[in-house]
Structure 1
Amino acid sequence: MAQQKYSAKDLGFWRITISLAFASFFIFASMYVVQPILPVFVREFNVTVSEATLTLSLPILGLIIGLVMIGFFSDRLGRVTFIKYSLVFTVIPFFLIPIADSFYLIVLLRFLQGFALAGLPAAALAYINEEINHSSIGIATALYIASNALGGMAGRVVAGYLTDRFSWETVFYSFAGIGIVIAVLVILFLPRSRFFQASNLSFRKDIEGMLFHFKNPSILIIIGMGIVLQFSFTSIWTYLPFHLEGEPYSLSVKTISYTFFAYGFGVVGAPFAGWLAGTFGMKPIRIAGIIVLSLGIFLTIFSALPMIIIGLCVSCLGFFTAHSLTASTVAEEATHHKGSAASLYLVAYYIGVTLGSSAVGPVWNMSGWNAIVIIAGLLPVTYLAFVIIFQKKTVSKVIRTQVK
């Protein structure tokens, strides 16, 4: 009797779903753990703000490289091995960073950690699609993505709390311990692949499949939206701790870290946006999400702390709405090589993280918080206007061609 893919009624389904949820939680917590403690690095190592943000942008660069390389190998060697190794090699730098005697050694370790982080996102969704029945894929994917957001939120909040209560070194040792527990659980409980079929395509063919999308302007401008959305969102959250630790707020690292609970609006907002898109269509809800993101960012320009908190909550709701539906739009626009289109969007998304963390440093140094808010708030709606104009011209051109 032929093996059947796991459905929600099978134990194997829950072993996969829960294992990947824990793995995702840890990987994304590890990715963003430094964000609330960037001001501490500035003081502790006597580095500039731009240099401190390298502990966030360099791991993302490592992640981008890893996504391309590990994605290639996981198509040929399997998924489970890379998921497990991703967790193990993510843990190791957490032990080494606290004893590093140079800030740039910490940056190097974070870069290597970023490469290790890529093993999970490079293989997880493909593994879910291969092993889980089509009727249950939605549940597994939703829990996996929700764990991304929860991990990112928890990592920031816990890091801020532990730094303020103990030290920044305690943060990394604590995450090392958590990572060991999660890695052991995943190694023991994640089922082996049963339906994986190794690709026999050459690396050149994979690259050609990715380059195929560069000939399609409709996909490129949507992928560009991924860069813009993440650039704006990351720049606000990266420089928020520097803004709130200064006058007139003078907030502690622990208190600042509590602002990351605003991510809860994104965790709730993304599934709700999916439901609205099913009712009203993907495009209008995506546009609404982009506008809400910009509105929330602009609210943070006010000096009243409650207004800043409201702005952060609104921007999280808008960002996760726009991001989830933009990713879906890429898959919808791609007529061929849908997998490589999704990979391109993911790479663009993380390029936005890198630019939004370190590239904005000179703006902060020269003009401060208000300048960052204005740039981050205007960019999404400006790019949205460009996309709308481009799409209208494309439709008009197609109509004129058909008439002729």
Structure 2
Amino acid sequence: MENRTERPAYTMRDAAFWKIIGALGFASLFVFAAMYTTQPLLPLFTEEFGVSVSSSSLSVSLTTLGLIFGLLVISFLSDRHGRTLYIKWSVALSVIPFFIMPLTDSFWLILILRFLQGFTLAGVPAAAIAYISEEVDRKSVSFATSLYISTNALGGMAGRVLTGYVTEHYSWQTAFYGLGIAGALIAAAVIFLLPKSRRFEAADGTARQDMEAFLFHLKNPLLLISFGLGIVLQLSFTGVWTFLPFHLQGDPFGLSLEAISYTYFAYGIGVIGSPLAGWLSDRLGIRPVRMAGVLILSAGILITLAESVAMIVIGLCVICLGFFTAHSLTAATVGRDATHHKGSASSLYLVSYYVGVAAGSTLLSPLWAAGGWTLLVLFAAIIPVVYLAFAIAARKRLAARA
């Protein structure tokens, strides 16, 4: 167990601050590469295994479901036993399925392994933001969180692009073996780099008291607004990216898997957008910058209605800028608004966030089937703006009561 000592939090002047950023960055890079690695492969899975579009999308949503269960379990454990143990084991264990999945010709076994992999991946997101909020100086938390989330974007981009490229030239099995080897190297780097907690304070009490504290967050209206925003942001974002390969493979584009995988380089804008959002929020405030992020996200989604590949790519870049701006600032807000059990509060936000992933990757299938890309895009663009208006009104009512 990690014990708290009365030591000052790390600032950007400390070498340990950058070790934290480096270790969590590597861990996040692998976690999000692993989570979304099957997204560009969905059309291939429908052909190779003879499954439907919605069944193929389960390779993303079941991983997300496993991660949600993992977040709920590990958030409790990390509040009691510390953060670094679960971060390290998360990366190490989640490597294993990548060496097993290429050996089977059963798509349903792949889905089971993806669910289990999602559970093991949860250790990093369950503990990382709480770890940052405890170990990093309050003035640097937003910046550190934004840097961490920017590697979420980098991992998502790397997993999709490399998987698509390697699959096009070799096979999806080769891509999975490559991810497994890279993950093993990253696990070694995380174990070596990540500093031990100095300011962690273990939660006391029984499991029942932990559950009551966990549920207490659901009575905090400010946190509920953030949780809802997490669902809506990811619902729209994931919905667009999940069905994009099917859209670009069809008429009038007819793009190859390799060409489609290159569109995921748009995630590079997210790598820039998260730290930029943190910097701007320190000067302008979190709320206006986050509001701008939501509006930019919706505008980018609408741009993808264009019949030009170039315009669609521009739209995807705008989407990533808006999404990672809004998401990184919402995550930082949750850590600030939670008065205790920060690990479980952060995990609740991530649970809502990944509920949005699951919904966007599978539950939007009826929209795709009914109206294709146009209906899906209109829904994905409108719902964040509607929720933003609701959130603003709800905050005004709460302020009036205070």
1:30–1:155: 8 Å Cα contact kept in structure 2? yes
Cα 1:4/1:169, change in 2 over 3 Å: same
Unmatched segments (≥5 aa) in structure 2 = none
Q: 1:120 aligns with which of 121, 124, 141?
A: 124
Q: Which region of structure 1 is more displaced relative to structure 2, 155-164 or 2-11? A: 2-11
Give the TM-score normalised by the residue count of structure 2.
0.91
Distance in structure 2 (CA, Å) of the matches to 1:13 and 1:395: 36
Give the TM-score normalised by the residue count of structure 1.
0.90
Deviation of the 1:153 alpha carbon:
1.0
Which residue number in structure 2 is paired with residue 91 of structure 1? 95
Quick check: 1:293 aligned with 2:297?
A: yes
Unmatched segments (≥5 aa) in structure 1 = 400-404
Deviation of the 1:3 alpha carbon:
6.5
Structure possessing the higher radius of gyration over alpha carbons: 1
| Residue identity matched to 2:71 | L
Q: 1:282 aligns with which of 283, 286, 297?
A: 286
| Residue identity matched to 1:315 | I
Cα 1:192/1:173, change in 2 over 3 Å: same
Q: Tell me how large the CA RMSD over aligned residues is.
A: 2.4
Which residue number in structure 2 is paired with residue 379 of structure 1? 383
Quick check: 1:43 aligned with 2:47?
A: yes
1:50–1:362: 8 Å Cα contact kept in structure 2? no
Quick check: 1:272 aligned with 2:282?
A: no
Which residue number in structure 2 is paired with residue 74 of structure 1? 78
Which residue number in structure 2 is paired with residue 249 of structure 1? 253
Deviation of the 1:32 alpha carbon:
1.0
Quick check: 1:58 aligned with 2:65?
A: no
2:125–2:347: 8 Å Cα contact kept in structure 1? no
State the number of aligned residues: 398
1:53-76 deviation digits (Å, cap 9, x = unpaired): 111011111111111111211222
Q: Which region of structure 1 is more displaced relative to structure 2, 11-20 or 77-86? A: 11-20
Deviation of the 1:137 alpha carbon:
5.2
Deviation of the 1:136 alpha carbon:
6.0
Deviation of the 1:252 alpha carbon:
0.9
Distance in structure 2 (CA, Å) of the matches to 1:45 and 1:292: 38
| Residue identity matched to 1:256 | I
Cα 1:134/1:388, change in 2 over 3 Å: closer
Which residue number in structure 2 is paired with residue 402 of structure 1? none
Distance in structure 2 (CA, Å) of the matches to 1:348 and 1:130: 22
1:260-285 deviation digits (Å, cap 9, x = unpaired): 11112222122222333333332222
Which residue number in structure 2 is paired with residue 156 of structure 1? 160
Cα 1:248/1:17, change in 2 over 3 Å: same
Distance in structure 2 (CA, Å) of the matches to 1:12 and 1:30: 27
Cα 1:8/1:301, change in 2 over 3 Å: closer
Distance in structure 1 (CA, Å) of the matches to 2:224 and 2:141: 27
Higher relative contact order (CA 8 A, sep 6+): 2
Distance in structure 1 (CA, Å) of the matches to 2:49 and 2:178: 21
Cα 1:196/1:382, change in 2 over 3 Å: closer
Q: Which region of structure 1 is more displaced relative to structure 2, 134-143 or 210-219? A: 134-143
Deviation of the 1:8 alpha carbon:
4.9
| Residue identity matched to 1:385 | A
- Percent identical among aligned pairs is 55
